[in-house]
Amino acid sequence: MSDFPNVIELNVGGVFYTTTIGTLTKDPDSLLTQLFTGLVKDQPIKDSKGKYFLDRDGVLFRYVLDYLRNQKMILPETFQETERLKQEADHYRLPGMVRCLAESSSSSSSAAGSSLRSPTGVQLVGGRRASNNNPGAVVDLDSQFQGSPPDSSSSKETGYIVVGYRGTFAFGRDGLADVKFRKLARILVSGRVSICREVFQDTLNESRDPDRGTSDRYSARFFLKHAFIEQAFDMLQDAGFRMVGSCGSGTNSAGEAKPGMDSEENKWNHYNEFVFCRP
C-alpha cells in the first residue's frame, strides 16, 4: 500500500472534501481504492494547496462519499440528476451504488405513475379522463377547462429569499477611470429552509447552519457551492420567484496589503443583496 495519510483532503472539480483513507478504500474493487492504495501506476495529482485532485463532478461526489460511508443511497426528494450520478458511480467502479440508484429510479417511477390516479378513481388518459371503475367512460378534459390550464406553481410555498454576495474590486491604475470587479468569494442565501432547499437543491451548502431541526424554520447561514450569480438567478426564476428589491455598497478597508496581492484590490470591497419573492 502506498504511503497515504489517514485523513485525505480532496479537491474534486473545485469542491473540497475531507475524509479518511478507510472511507475512500472501503470498496476493494473501486477506482478510488486503486488510486489511494498505489495499485495503479498513475498516482492522484495534487493541486497548488496540496489537496489530491480528481477531475470529476465535485457537487455529486458528496453522494459517492455517502455511499462509501453507509453502503446505501439516500437522495433528496427533489434530486434530478440521477443519470449523471450513475455516470459518476460507473466511473468510480461502484456497482453497488449503481444498483441502489437503479432501485431508487424504479421506485420513483412507480410513485409517479400511481400519482396520476386521483382518490376518486379518475385516471388521466392522454388529454382525456377515464373512470377506473368504468374504463369505457371517457370524458374530454379540454371542454372542462376555460382559458389557460391551472398553474402548477400556485401550489408551491410562498415566501422570500435573499441572495447576497461579497467581492473585491480595483480602480484603474495611473488614474484610469475603469473599475474591475473580481473575486466573488461566496454567494449567501437566507430564507425559509424548506424553500431554499426546494429552489437550490444540490447546490445549497448547509454546512454552516448549526440548527439541523425541522425545515419549517429560517436560516441566514446558507451559501451556494458555486460562485455563479447568474445560475442562482436562473434557479430562482425557474422556481417562480421575481426580484422585488436590491441594494449594494462599496467600502475601503484601508488595510495593509498582503504580500503578493494587488493592494488596490485588497483595499476595496463591495457587498450586494437581492430580494426575491414568490407570491
Grid look-up 501506476 returns 41
pLDDT at 148 over 50: no
Structure confidence at residue 182 (pLDDT): 60
**How does DSSP classify residue 128?**
E
Grid look-up 440548527 returns 211
26-40, 153-167, 217-231, 247-261, range with the lowest pLDDT: 247-261
Q: Three-state SS for 214? A: coil
pLDDT at 142 over 50: no
pLDDT at 277 over 80: yes
pLDDT at 132 over 70: no
Q: What is the pTM of this model?
A: 0.45
Residue 188's pLDDT band, with cuts at 50, 70 and 90, is: very high
Rounded mean pLDDT, 140-155: 48
pLDDT at 77 over 90: no
Residue among 76, 74, 97, 77 nearest 85 (CA): 97
Residue 180's pLDDT band, with cuts at 50, 70 and 90, is: low
CA distance 231 to 118: 36
Residue 248's pLDDT band, with cuts at 50, 70 and 90, is: confident
Structure confidence at residue 69 (pLDDT): 92
Instruction: Find the angle CA(214)-CA(19)-CA(72) to the nearest 5 degrees.
Output: 60
Structure confidence at residue 269 (pLDDT): 78
pLDDT at 79 over 90: no
Residue 108's pLDDT band, with cuts at 50, 70 and 90, is: low
Structure confidence at residue 64 (pLDDT): 94
CA distance 191 to 221: 9
Structure confidence at residue 145 (pLDDT): 40
| Average pLDDT, rounded, for the chain | 78
pLDDT at 235 over 70: yes
Structure confidence at residue 116 (pLDDT): 41
Grid look-up 475531507 returns 18
pLDDT at 186 over 50: yes
pLDDT at 257 over 80: no
Over pLDDT 70: what percentage of the chain? 70
pLDDT tens figures, 48-62: 999 999 999 988 999
Rounded mean pLDDT, 173-200: 77
pLDDT tens figures, 92-106: 999 999 999 988 777
Q: List, in order, residues 6 or more apart from 239 with CB less than 8 Å away.
A: 156, 198, 199, 278
pLDDT at 75 over 90: no
CA 64 to chain centre: 15
Structure confidence at residue 130 (pLDDT): 47
pLDDT at 154 over 70: no
